[in-house]
Amino acid sequence: MNDNKELRKEISQSIVDAKNQGNGAGLALAEIIVISTALGIYYSSWWLFGGALFGLIILMCFKVTKIILLVVFIIAWVFIAWIIGQWFESSGASVVLSIIALLVSGGLHVQAFEEWKAK
């Protein structure tokens, strides 16, 4: 009877894990697409768009550059949260939003690192 409960618990956890699989890698890929698109539009260059897109994807294939890119993405989210907090003219809002961004973005990017490592 106890083995049956453990099996159900393990199956339930596996279903939850399967539903969340890809969230981190999807976020990192979306960030790469947004950065590439923004560069291409800002400089009106298809070459820059394509180069940035392929370059960033290639950088995600190497462990050291992948870590650096993911850390840069985390810092960017914290900075964005800080700026949003400043719109409220409150240091407290900036700190709280930055901490939330650090935790959420950090967790997703650690997940992205694990998912990209598995491929």
Q: What are the 10-residue block averages of pLDDT along the chain, 119 residues in total? A: 64 55 71 92 94 92 90 93 91 93 90 72
CA pair distance 52, 46, nearest whole angstrom: 10
Cα separation, 81 vs 1, whole angstroms: 49
Closest CA to 27 of 84, 91, 74: 74
Residue type, 15: I
Question: What per-residue confidence (pLDDT) applies to 94?
Answer: 92
List the structure tokens of 106.
């950090």
In eight-state DSSP terms, residue 61 is T
- What pLDDT score does 26 carry? 77
The reported pLDDT for the residue numbered 80 is: 93
Q: Which residues contact 62 (CB under 8 A, 6 or more apart)?
A: none
Total structural domains in the chain?
A: 1
| Interhelix angle 23-42/91-118, nearest 10 degrees | 110
Q: Quote the pLDDT of residue 109.
A: 85
Q: What's the pLDDT at 56?
A: 92
Q: Range of 109's domain? A: 2-118
